[in-house]
Chain A
Amino acid sequence: GAGVSQSPSNKVTEKGKDVELRCDPISGHTALYWYRQSLGQGLEFLIYFQGNSAPDKSGLPSDRFSAERTGGSVSTLTIQRTQQEDSAVYLCASSFGFGRGGYEQFFGPGTRLTVL
Chain B
Amino acid sequence: GESVGLHLPTLSVQEGDNSIINCAYSNSASDYFIWYKQESGKGPQFIIDIRSNMDKRQGQRVTVLLNKTVKHLSLQIAATQPGDSAVYFCADSYTGNQFYFGTGTSLTVIP
Chain A interface residues (CB < 8 Å from chain B): 4, 31, 33, 35, 40-45, 48, 50, 56, 58-59, 91, 93, 98-102, 104-110
Q: Which of A42, A50, A106 has the most CB of B within 10 A?
A: A42
Find the B residue at minimum CB distance from A106. Answer: B46
Q: Nearest residue in B to A110 (C-beta to C-beta)? A: B43
Contact A101 B51 (CB under 8 A): yes
Number of interface residues of B (CB under 8 A): 27
User: Shortest CB–CB separation between residue A11 and chain B, in angstroms?
Assistant: 15
**Cα(A56)–Cα(B94), bound, Å:** 14
Contact at B89–A43, with CB atoms within 8 Å? yes
Which of chain A's residues have a CB closer than 8 A to the CB of B4? Answer: 42
Residue pair B31, A101 in contact (C-beta under 8 Å): yes
5 pairs from A and B in contact (CB 8 Å cutoff): A56-B97, A56-B98, A102-B32, A104-B49, A107-B43
The docked-state distance in angstroms from the alpha carbon of A115 to that of B98 is 27
Q: In this assembly, does B101 line the interface, its C-beta being within 8 Å of a C-beta of chain A? A: yes
Inter-chain CA distance A108–B42, complex, in Å, is 8
CB of B43 within 8 A of CB of A50, answer no
- Assess A43 versus B32: contact at CB under 8 Å? Given A101-B51, A104-B49, A107-B45: no
Report B110 CB to chain A, min CB distance, Å.
21
**Bound Cα distance A33, B97 (Å):** 9
Within 8 A of A (CB), among B79-109: 89, 91, 93-104
